[in-house]
Amino acid sequence: MSDIALKMEHVYKKFRKGEIFDSLRDLIPALTGRMFRQRELNVSDKREFWALQDVSFEVQRGEAFGIIGHNGAGKSTALKLLSRIMKPTKGYLAINGRLSALIEVAAGFHQDLTGRENVFLNGTILGMTKQEIASKLDQIIAFSGLEEFIDTPVKRYSSGMYARLGFSVAAHVDPEVLIVDEVLSVGDYVFQQKCMDRMRSVIEGGAAVLFVSHNLKAVTELCQRAMLFKHGKVVTIGPTDDVVRRYLSEALKPRSGEIDKIVTISQVRVRDRGGEQSTFESGDTAWVDVEVTAHENAEQLAVVIWLTDENQYIIFDTSTQRLGHPPFSLRAAQSYHCTFELKFNMAHGAFHVCAAIHRYNIQKEYDRLAPGATVFIGSSMAVRGAVNCLPKLLRAETAAMSSRDECKV
């Protein structure tokens, strides 16, 4: 067997949009109508669109490969082709080895069966034998953390429990190729971490993982290489950090002025010493320029900037007023510039730089730009999480347990 776990070569997939006759009642009149009006046959061409165009890539064994892109870019279509649920219109694709697709993990569940019965059912659907499932049953149930409810019909489960059980089954298939589509969005933080760990151990076991997610942080943590999709075409394939950077730079759009607001934020720019920049190393110094334009007279103004992580969670927040600059006033058509100096002590990941202008004394917000800019922080893999606390390892030694400690154990 070769080292290539899966590959696509010049794959195209065409869909038809618009109405499809899904009942005989509609089809038969349409067909008889068509016999008399030959000319309309060409109309159907316009109703087609290409969900994937000329997609080629390959994934090696033991490699995690990420796919990113906006909604509707063709990611899920690519996965459905790979998991053989759909067939490509043109092109060639191959998979070497047992494939497990975590596309909708609880697809095979039946509402009226208990958790345990569903483990067997879903396991079989995913390609395991009954003996295999029986031997892993305890592991699967323990992983899901649903020991108490395993003999309850799944219709009484919460959606989180449902998904956890589904993922637990799918994660124990022992695949050689694992396809994961945005399954981490369900489940609580602890369970998400469990899933990430499980995927890492699958990769270490020599399997290939194809990971689709909007969680860029998870993609960069897990995958060495990634691919960016846009409108069904491959934009770039390469090291994950480069691809994520490209994705973020494409996501930024210039902003046109909105005249219905009294004061607007017209620009937010992040730069380093050399000029505008969107990628930084953890700990770098950056300057954030904010430009404010007034359309009418306004007073008691302050500019606020803040940073959010990818989940829009605010991790940092400051303002001109808090940094000692008194509230300012602007007359119509005047503009205002300020520059903040920041130290990007964040860990690896993508962060949004946001800005707002508000009237200080009555806390009225005139305008906000969120995100105004997006930066990608690269760092050594030694730290994970949101911030970089600049860790140093000072002591690491092995000692024999004293007899008193042993008693405690």
Partner 1 sequence: MREQLRELFRYRGLLYMITFRDIKVRYKQSVMGFMWAILMPILIVMAGMVVRYAYALATHVPLKSEDIASVAVKSLPWAFLISSIRLGCNSLIGNNQNLVTKVYFPKEILPLAAMMSSLFDFLVASAALLVFLILVHTGWSVHLIWAPILLLTMVVLASGIGLVVSAASLFFRDVKYLVEVLLTFGIFFTPVFYDVHMFGDRGKWLLLNPVAPILDGLSACIVRRQPPDLPWFAYSLGFGVLMLFGGYLLFKHLEPAFAESI
Binding of partner 1 at residue 47 (CB under 8 A)?
Answer: no
Q: Which residues pair with 149 in a beta bridge?
A: none
From 30, 31, 94, 107, residue interacting with partner 1 (rule: CB under 8 A): 107
Binding of partner 1 at residue 83 (CB under 8 A)?
Answer: yes
The CA distance from 330 to 328, in Å, is 7
Backbone phi, psi, residue 320, to 5°: -60, -40
Query: Least distance in Å: CB of 49 to partner 1?
Result: 13
Stretch near partner 1 under the rule CB under 8 A, chosen from 118-126, 142-150, 266-274, 329-337: 118-126
Backbone phi, psi, residue 141, to 5°: -65, -40
What is residue 292's three-state secondary structure? strand
Query: Least distance in Å: CB of 405 to partner 1?
Result: 51
Stretch near partner 1 under the rule CB under 8 A, chosen from 15-23, 29-37, 136-144, 317-325: 15-23
C-alpha dihedral, 82 to 84 to 87 to 93, nearest 10°: 40
Question: Residue 386: which residues within 8 A CB-CB, separation 6 or more?
Answer: 309, 315, 346, 347, 349
Identity of the residue, 80 or 348, whose beta carbon is nearer to partner 1 in the bound complex: 80
Identity of the residue, 91 or 108, whose beta carbon is nearer to partner 1 in the bound complex: 108
**Distances from the Cα of 141 to the Cα of 121, 271, 326, angstroms:** 14, 50, 60
From 30, 31, 85, 251, residue interacting with partner 1 (rule: CB under 8 A): 85
- Pick the closest to residue 7 from 46, 56, 75, 48 (CA basis): 56
From 37, 39, 46, 87, residue interacting with partner 1 (rule: CB under 8 A): 87
From 7, 80, 217, 245, residue interacting with partner 1 (rule: CB under 8 A): 80
Cis peptide before 371 (omega within 30 of 0): yes
From 12, 15, 50, 360, residue interacting with partner 1 (rule: CB under 8 A): 15
Q: Tokens 């005989």 map to which residue?
A: 24
Query: Least distance in Å: CB of 85 to partner 1?
Result: 5
Identity of the residue, 127 or 205, whose beta carbon is nearer to partner 1 in the bound complex: 127
Site for partner 1 in 127-156 (CB under 8 A): 127, 129-130
Identity of the residue, 108 or 327, whose beta carbon is nearer to partner 1 in the bound complex: 108
Identity of the residue, 124 or 300, whose beta carbon is nearer to partner 1 in the bound complex: 124
Stretch near partner 1 under the rule CB under 8 A, chosen from 114-122, 310-318, 380-388, 394-402: 114-122
Query: Least distance in Å: CB of 103 to partner 1?
Result: 5
Stretch near partner 1 under the rule CB under 8 A, chosen from 65-73, 106-114, 204-212, 347-355: 106-114
Count the neighbouring beta carbons within 10 Å of the beta carbon of residue 84.
11
- Pick the closest to residue 173 from 210, 136, 201 (CA basis): 136
Binding of partner 1 at residue 104 (CB under 8 A)?
Answer: yes
From 49, 56, 60, 113, residue interacting with partner 1 (rule: CB under 8 A): 113
DSSP code, position 148: G
Q: Which helix (H) or strand (E) holds 10?
A: strand 4-16
The CA distance from 368 to 317, in Å, is 14
Write out the two tokens for 81. 């082709």
Binding of partner 1 at residue 20 (CB under 8 A)?
Answer: yes
Count the neighbouring beta carbons within 10 Å of the beta carbon of residue 226.
27
- Pick the closest to residue 389 from 353, 341, 350, 347 (CA basis): 347
Identity of the residue, 38 or 131, whose beta carbon is nearer to partner 1 in the bound complex: 131
Binding of partner 1 at residue 76 (CB under 8 A)?
Answer: no
Backbone phi, psi, residue 210, to 5°: -110, 115
Site for partner 1 in 309-338 (CB under 8 A): none
The CA distance from 283 to 229, in Å, is 31
Identity of the residue, 87 or 273, whose beta carbon is nearer to partner 1 in the bound complex: 87
Q: For binding to partner 1 (CB under 8 A), which residues are involved?
A: 15, 20-25, 27, 80, 83-87, 99, 101, 103-104, 107-108, 110, 112-113, 117, 120-121, 124-127, 129-130
